[in-house]
Chain A
Amino acid sequence: MTVLSITDLNVFFSTEGGDLHALRDVSFDVPERRIVGIVGESGCGKSTLINAILGLLADNGRVGGGGIHFEGHDLTRLGPKEMQALRGPRIATVFQDPMGALNPVVSVGAQMRNIQYRSGLSRSEKDAKSVAILQKVRIPDAGAALARYPHEFSGGMKQRIAIAMALLMEPALLIADEPTTALDATLEVATIELLKELQQDIGCSVLFISHHLGVIAELCDDVVVMYAGEVVERGTTRQVFNNPGHPYAARLLECDPARQSERVRLLPTIPGEIPDLRHRPEGCIFAPRCDRRAPACEARQSELPLQTGHMARCALAEARS
């Protein structure tokens, strides 16, 4: 069963310098009860993808083809009211900055009651539910925590509260937008273990966005590698990490400091930068930075299957079936 299925999604932003093609032919699935990681460098379209799923693209953005299928609806065709009804109860989101995601002048309990405003529960029932989920994310003295304000909690606790708020309505899909980036390393591990535990407990699917390969490897069942608004490779975590088919994915893995076996003076990098998306080249998007460039790269690339469920958008990725 697939919870979220994105097919050939294209997103454009109209800017003064012309239309910006932010996402091109993005396709991937989030199966039920699986954690799918999206990895890519800054500006590769991760946030645009989230906003497109949530129906919260900026005013100058539009979906120009493709579909986002969720529980039998095509989200690209739903009106604002219907999208609003899905956000929260069915699709919930945790954001990167735990300091900013909680309203500083509203108590935690009131914020959690606000989230349940469509539930029809009484005030005390709502509070009981809030306490239960706060206990699950291991907030000490959860009952008293309801009366407190966000500044009375530490950063890690705030992020756990934000996760609790997102899972309060037991959504089918949790979108986690770099939820551990603002936390230090110890908290990161704890938060990831907690997230995994809650995901199994509630039985939801998770779309986990990160640029931290170690976190993705630890947490995710499947991985989607994005580059400049395109999915360049996708497959199970094992497939992608052990046998990367796309040169970008391979180089990205090589650049992970955790994979360096010996001490080097300079960490490896990928030379060059992301191309200007207003003038997207017709051929392979990664070709200008690729060290395995060939004449075949001039043509438009399609996703080539490498193994069952493992695809790479590279003409040179040899099929190993």
Chain B
Amino acid sequence: MSEAVSNPPSMAQRLRLGDIWKATRRVLREPLGAFGLILVLVMIGGAVFADWLTAYEPNKISPRDRFQGPSLDHLLGTDHLGRDLFTRVLHGGRIALWVALFSTAISLSIGIVLGLIAGYGPRWLDNLMLLLFDSIKSFPTVMLALALVTLAGPSLTAVVIVVVLVNVPGYARIIRTQTLALKESEFVTAAQSMGASSARILRVHVMPNVIGPLLILASMDIPVVIAIEAGMSFLGLGVRPPTPSWGAILNDGFTAIRDTPWIAIAGGLPIILTTLGFTFLGETLRDVFDPRLKGRG
């Protein structure tokens, strides 16, 4: 094996289990990364094990316990209907994380397919799709959400659709640019000369080259998605009451913020901590995987 040379592993390399462990250790070495990872794990743990962590039901109304401040019985207090806020925050985390993961997964799938088609397809199709992406992107998120909710009514599905519409153009553009560059690469020419079809080239050769950077980018978008869900639910455009959502809890406390501030805090704190956690984690991941960005803001 004297001829084999080993280069430092690049970002483009496929993730293996050992690499994931190595990356985790590097993330933990950065203080912000470790902080972010812990926050994210706590949030995910709370959402997953919500049923075991509290004795209360998230939607059970108990008028006797209204507006109680934080105590050992109710860690974050109760709201105007006597519901335990800690329980509602945990269950709200399920909604937030579910929306974040589900809609990011859908955005990624659609974005990748559209980007590959735009980058590899004929020129007119590329131009048409760019026009479409730019048109969608030019709508402010709230306007988009309002328009959609006016048409279809407030629901979790509406939140997912808004997030997908907001995210897809960006992902598709990145994939498109990378595909355009890879299209000219010699291994694509080589694959063509060996009789591979366009669909096959995209799946086997282009996809593995573009997926890594995109996943990092998507992980950095998760806090944005969580904020969109919370924002829409706060405005009454998202989940319907009594379903617990951080935005809805914030809205419940918002009217009585002078007398019972703990309700608004119970809704706001997890939003802040989770978005912070994902942002720190995402940025550290980016730095760890892409050495070119190291040391830059």
Contact = CB atoms under 8 A, between A and B. Distances in A.
Given A88-B195, A93-B193, A102 B187 contact: yes
Contacts of A107: 14
Interface in B90-113: none
A86 B187 CA distance: 19
B6 interface: yes
Interface in B193-230: 193-197, 200, 204-205, 208-209, 212
B186 A140 contact: no
Contacts of A87: 192-195
Interface in B1-21: 1, 3-7, 10, 12-14
B189 interface: yes
A117 B200 contact: yes
Interface in A247-298: none
Contact of A54 (B193, B205, B208): B193
Interface residues of B, number: 28
Nearest to A87: B195
A118 B195 CA distance: 10
B186 A100 contact: yes
Contact of A140 (B3, B189, B212): B3
Contact of B194 (A88, A97, A151): A88
A114 B186 contact: no
B196 A152 contact: no
Nearest to B14: A105
Interface residues of A, number: 38
Contact of B195 (A89, A105, A154): A89
B196 A114 contact: yes
Nearest to A155: B5
A104 B12 contact: yes
Given A84-B195, A88-B194, A93-B193, A153 B205 contact: no
A141 interface: yes
A215 interface: no
Given A95-B186, A100-B185, A105-B209, A140 B1 contact: yes
A166 interface: yes
Contacts of A154: 3-5
A162 B208 CA distance: 20
A319 interface: no
A103 B3 CA distance: 20
Contacts of B14: 105-107, 149
A78 to B, nearest CB: 13
Nearest to B192: A56
A104 B14 CA distance: 10
Contacts of B209: 103-105
B186 A97 contact: yes
A165 interface: yes
Contacts of A97: 186
Contact of A86 (B191, B195, B197, B208): B195
Interface in B163-200: 185-187, 189-197, 200
Interface in A101-127: 101-107, 114-115, 117-118
Given A56-B193, A87-B192, 18 more contacts: A56-B189, A84-B195, A84-B197, A93-B190, A93-B193, A100-B186, A101-B190, A103-B191, A103-B204, A114-B191, A114-B200, A140-B3, A141-B1, A151-B5, A153-B4, A154-B3, A157-B3, A157-B4
5 contacts: A54-B193, A88-B196, A93-B194, A106-B14, A106-B208
Interface of B: 1, 3-7, 10, 12-14, 185-187, 189-197, 200, 204-205, 208-209, 212
